[in-house]
Structure 1
């Protein structure tokens, strides 16, 4: 019996470990005696004269109530503390002292050490580890108002049933929507609006990298998982936003106390938003950080809204083998309000009647909830190369059948009903199809049923003018292996149609591997740098490269190729094409004008060792693009199979971004080499973005490009060999902008130089760029809290002139395009 009693005590301590909470007043930090601790309305403990109480519970959060104080809630941990505001707001106004608007230097010094030591304290500093997680995300009413909502919906249903002559919408669709809306709102009385569970295994090896296995996954209302949603991440191996140097201007930090947790001393740093100065009906602080004194690692962070009902986020870490692993996360964020009119609007109602009607509107808060538990930590662990095969993330199961093995708490009746109720609604309203519309946008496509629409065929340039067009590709709903596509476009300035068609044939569903054959009849700007295997964000950013270049050529032909991911980080694409090419500007090559027949092959390699990918039914998806990255292209023209051009063209792009104590630095190095004989469009235009500056109010303004020069005249400089660089550095000075945003400045420096061996072969107006072209700039990120960055650039060095307007340019960049 003794051993059974010992086992009972062990499991009791495992599932019901003791927690200690300290409750104190927010105005003077004095302890609150007699405060009551509740779990789901069950009383757990009272605080003593020191404001301290101990209890055991399986609840993830507990409520704290005290006489003459405003109650609050706190995430359960071994050690907790919470401050309560006095109930009388008028008294608080009198007693409140305006908080200093300057952070405590001691607190900032500690946070600097936290940031510098984050990588050293991270689990990735170990040789190897493994652990699992269980995450539960939902969208629901405020937990405290569910019973009120049920009573309201029952009364509303009874009330509507007693109205035989109830006025319904005249239109059939409006009538149907009204009825369906009532039914849906009734469903939410018994179930949540949305529920998603995920169980995951994390493996890491310094030798093999990281592997994330989704052990099981289920989303209410959907038959298939949203793979792009599966990749969502949290504070795992990530610096919390409240600690990042760039967000320091949004908060004020105060070193207020120290606390011992599990035998380790911790600093207690409290913080608040800068626009949060007088605590009236609000918390005195937005949140707090527990910082381990020995390692300067984050033990715990809680970030609250200014108003209690708007939500909070809590993350807790534990030390294992001297590194800090995320143990749990808890999130609650208000996501709007459901409102119900309890009184019908009268025609020609008076101001008093309107006010009375609005006062009777019933409101229920809607919240996003997330709870994550991390467990089964092992380090070091024996791992094999085979465990890291394929992409960074893989999905082992996605029907929810295995979730019960990993749940750290059982589903409530309301959560179980969510799968039953919302699954039936999802089937009825075809939520799977609507969800895939959203995931298509993440890839730069618009999904309509089995068709993906590419809007990037619509653009503007000096040759075509406004080009209206779109691409259409049949996705996996048509066939998992075969995907035909077409595109068509029309240029209003050149009055020409452009079109093409192709088909992809997959060889496997396990990785990116497919054959492609295509036909095309289109135009392009001369000398464009290769963009093969670029992602959508890079391509969109570089789309402005051809706007001002008017040296266009036509091409028509066929291409056949094969693309394969040799590993998670290495992609190879090989192809061959035969096409007819013709200049559409005044040009002769080696005293010959007209068409040129070209047969060539192309090999492209992309190496991205730190990016993270997942295979989905729609193909590979890169959910975390990390640097460095390398792109290498080799094109060879042949005088065979009808080709008349013999040339070799190489180009390479290296891009990297890294952070130091001096700020964030980004670099790009790129270059090209051409040998042989071919028209100028096979060589390299130097990346000019500026117009000819003739009678245009926009001559000093352009949009950003990935490799362009804001002050360089477009279509003027061509080389057959060149080298260029792009250097940007974010100054580590972040200041508060409008609202809850920060702004910062990037210093930018660009340069490019090259040569043209035989410029006399090309009869048109151009210049070789045989001296170093330099450009410096200052870019304001998050300009006026908008979604744009505003850059000011100036040309220096050999190509600068005495006229300011010739050297100066303004550039605009969409912020989401990033570095």
Structure 2
């Protein structure tokens, strides 16, 4: 091994570890200095802090002998060390050690052993680069002009970049938190937060969890992706284990245990566990994920003799550009990557992204164990106090003195000035609105979803609408829209208003009037947020709608933990816009009046939520997720004609795999009883045209619709439907052709009570069930794809061609 060291402020040592025979970087090397531990990144670099000089550094690496180096006040530029591959200890010994660590997890994990726990934390995140790594020189580049002529230009970007990172970071953010554990609840409360360039931090970035809080979790989380951990008893067989060395840390004897995922070395979890040989606790840890990005998550602990626990003292999270066999393009910018076997000395020109990295460091202090802790609003995993974003500069200066960073003041000064000059904060606000389907104009946000759409009944639907925003008021809002169909020549409109009655619970009460149309027998959950889509393929082919004129009063709240709910009363006049009569108790209705009470609830029990000064946000979306809706129509209230009840349930489950695969299950069910018109029953989302030839039926595929089921073919008063999908990682055919292969199976079953009541429209029932399976080839080229589905089972049609549906698909990727 060859090590090249530099010192920063006589406290920070920076080194490079390479193999002396091959001159290639050695990654994943354990570095110990005093009570500090770290590991080399994918390029062989490491940084470690020493308390004083001279310093003793110990290195342990897979397939190399352990070595020690002592440095005095003067550091040599280069040190050459030749080592021989060593015989690793038997897997049996390493496995036995890990099993003891797992067996003692509950006794060593503070979050499991302690009744209460509280600790303060200061976190700093920077995007930066080491100026010494920048190859700063003026380059000559040639740019081709019209008629084939070339123009010579001077490229000084590396020189400017070096001058920049010598004085400042590219980005800087800080927060001060308090972590509390009590009665099984674990919560982070942010008491101060700031971001360079922004008066108000982006709350989603403040809340973004880069790594797991505890090393003992069964699934270790990196950038919101879960990886199988070696400390999961059911996943031990996934890992290759090796004992690298034994060391002393805080006067306790530790074993240095290296682990690596056997099946997926490039995409699985690897790292080093420093295991206490007396109580088999984790005394320090380094976790790594290698791929297009190389991620290192490091943990340091302080041993508390009174409780016999290792208490977290520091966390570090570093992301550098990894290695990949192909260059990738992100938002139009192409990034070059070195392949897996690239030597440390590159032949290609250095890019600035090669040496730019993200670094997050969290320092913990003042731990309180088994003392009285009261957690307010325990259902909220993370809370940002109102005063957190209004801390004065003097407050932050205290932390700057405790954790010095000479680049930080200049970073804030320059970025604050740049953001003000460029109006970036306003642009971020506009961008956030556009992603949610709105364009802000002063105090009014125009709704992009109302501008243009198409269906078989209205033709092109042209409209305008929107909602007032926080610039008008944070306590009252007005919304509305006006639309016109070019085919039916009818106007539709809606007006509404709401008043906020609870800030913490995001509670509003409101009222509104609407005159519009809706697809018959469609299941619509009031709690669902209307998602912004550039296009919605399924309604294009729908022809059967009903008109409704409704007045509603509602209350919207998040007061119940991990839920959103809407409670409303609605009075509506319904007119079917197709050939239909409802025959009930000897009376025939071609239009009718309904007065309904409704409760619509979205429950996400496994998700985490953040409370901010502006409202509550779901920050970690986890599955399964449950939606419930109960509807009760009462006869004779304001002239209501019918008495009926409906219960609708939806369960959504999704799982992402390490290799890029995705699996999802969607279960939908509904049950209606009483005098229910066909307009308010169930059609299970068909998406196939009633055309004779297969090619005539080619349209655009929906997301969770039955592609071989014809429109208005089946209706039910009670039903259950299951959608199962498994998406494989992209198939590499060529540089631009990388289709996403998805296998899909769908099934539905249902019944129809009092079928004789529904006159004028022929239909079948789902008593015998409905089955279809298919293959989606999404994003074959520029977002366009092709899908094919086949209908089988009891409701299979006699002619083979009629059971086949071929559809186009389109997936828009904005790069977010």
| TM-score for both structures, normalised by structure 2 | 0.69
Task: Please give the secondary structure, in 2, of the residue aligned with 1:685.
Answer: coil
CA deviation string 1:621-671 (max 9, x = no partner): 222222333322222223445433223232232425377999986444332
Q: Report the Cα offset of residue 146 of structure 1.
A: 8.4
What secondary structure, in the 3-state scheme, does the structure 1 residue paired with 2:427 have?
helix
2:220 is aligned, of 239, 245, 251, to: 239
Question: Where does residue 342 of structure 2 map in the other structure?
Answer: none
* 1:551 maps to which of 522, 544, 547: 544
Distance 1:297 1:782 in 2: 47
Provide the residue aligned with 1:681 in structure 2.
679
Give how far 1:514 is off: 0.4
Distance 1:740 1:329 in 2: 37
Residues in 1 aligned to 2:256 and 2:546: alpha-carbon distance in whole angstroms: 67
The separation in 1 between residues aligned to 2:112 and 2:174, in whole angstroms, is 29
1:211 and 2:187 matched: yes
After TM superposition, the structure 1 = structure 2 runs for residues 208-607 of structure 1, keeping only pairs within 5 Å, are 209-236=185-212, 239-240=220-221, 244=227, 258-260=244-246, 262=249, 263-269=253-259, 289-291=271-273, 299-302=285-288, 313-316=296-299, 327-333=314-320, 367-376=356-365, 382-384=372-374, 386=376, 388=378, 392-395=382-385, 397-401=388-392, 402-403=395-396, 410-440=403-433, 443-447=436-440, 449-457=442-450, 458-535=452-529, 546-590=539-583, 592=588, 594-607=590-603
Between the aligned partners of 1:816 and 1:486, the Cα distance in structure 2 is 30
RMSD: 5.6
Task: Give the match's secondary structure for 1:646.
Answer: coil
* Aligned counterpart, 1:9: none
Residues 334, 477 of structure 1: alpha-carbon distance in 2 compared, 3 angstrom cutoff:
farther
Residues 613 and 492 of structure 1, relative CA distance in 2, 3 Å threshold: farther
Question: What residue is the counterpart of 1:133 in the other structure?
Answer: 121
Look up the SS of the partner of 2:747 in the other structure.
Answer: strand
Q: How does 1:127-206 map to 2 (within 5 A)?
A: 129-140=117-128, 142-144=130-132, 190-205=167-182
SS in structure 2 of the partner of residue 801 of structure 1: coil
Deviations 1:391-417 (A, max 9, x none): 743335113445456669534343112
Alpha-carbon distance, 1:313 to partner:
3.9
Distance 1:807 1:714 in 2: 14
- Tell whether the 8 Å contact from 1:462 to 1:548 is kept in structure 2 after alignment: yes
Report SS of the residue matched to 1:527.
coil
Of 450-459 and 546-555, deviating more is 450-459
2: distance between equivalents of 1:651 and 1:544?
Answer: 27
- Distance, in Å, in 2 between the alignment partners of 1:741 and 1:507 is 52
Structure 2 CA distance for aligned equivalents of residues 259 and 541 of structure 1: 58
Separation in 2, partners of 1:219, 1:513: 29
The SS at the match of 1:478 is coil
Deviates more, 1:123-132 or 1:606-615: 123-132
Q: 2:781 and 2:95 mapped to 1: Cα distance?
A: 28
- Structure 1 stretch displaced more, 318-327 or 697-706: 318-327
Where does residue 100 of structure 1 map in the other structure? none
Structure 2 equivalent of residue 628 of structure 1: 624
Contact conserved, 2:571 with 2:595, CA < 8 A, in 1?
yes
Structure 1, 574-583 or 519-528: larger mean CA deviation: 574-583
d(CA) in 2 for partners of 1:474, 1:480: 10
User: Could you tell me how far 1:123 is from its partner in structure 2?
Assistant: 7.0
Contact preservation (8 Å) 1:482, 1:503: yes
Mapped to 1, the partners of 2:676 and 2:646 lie a distance apart of 14
Equivalent residue, structure 1, for 2:721: 724
Deviation string for 1:32-66 (max 9, x for gaps)?
A: 4x7545336889699999999975699999999xx
Mark the CA change 1:254 to 1:210 in structure 2 (over 3 Å): closer, same or farther. Answer: closer
1:60-82 deviation digits (Å, cap 9, x = unpaired): 99999xxxxx9844455986557
Residues 244-302 of structure 1: per-residue CA shift (max 9 Å, x gap): 479xxxxx9986762335433344356999999xxxxxxxx999522467789993124
Q: Say if 2:715 and 2:765, in contact at 8 Å, map to a contact too.
A: yes
Cα distance in 1 for partners of 2:670, 2:555 equals 24
Give 1:515 deviation, angstroms: 0.9
How far is the alpha carbon of 1:758 from its aligned partner? 2.1
Report if the CA contact (8 A) 2:321-2:353 is conserved: no
Structure-1 separation of matches of 2:407 and 2:739: 44
- Does the 8 Å contact 1:197/1:218 carry over to 2? yes
3-state SS, counterpart of residue 721 of structure 2: strand
Q: Are 1:36 and 1:43, in contact at CA under 8 Å, matched by a contact in 2?
A: no
Give the whole-Å Cα distance in 2 for the aligned partners of 1:362 and 1:323. Answer: 41
Give the corresponding residue for 1:162.
Answer: none
Give secondary structure in 2 for the equivalent of 1:684.
coil
Higher helix fraction: Structure 1 or Structure 2? 1
Mean alpha-carbon deviation: is it higher for 136-145 or for 623-632?
A: 136-145
* Superposed CA offset, 1:414-442 (max 9, x none): 31122233223333443332222343356
Structure 1: runs of 5+ lacking an equivalent: 1-23, 25-31, 65-69, 86-104, 153-182, 247-251, 277-284, 338-358
Residues 31 and 58 in structure 2, CA contact (< 8 A), matched pair in contact too: no
Report deviation, 1:574.
1.5
The alignment partner of 1:506 has SS state of strand
d(CA) in 2 for partners of 1:137, 1:513: 34
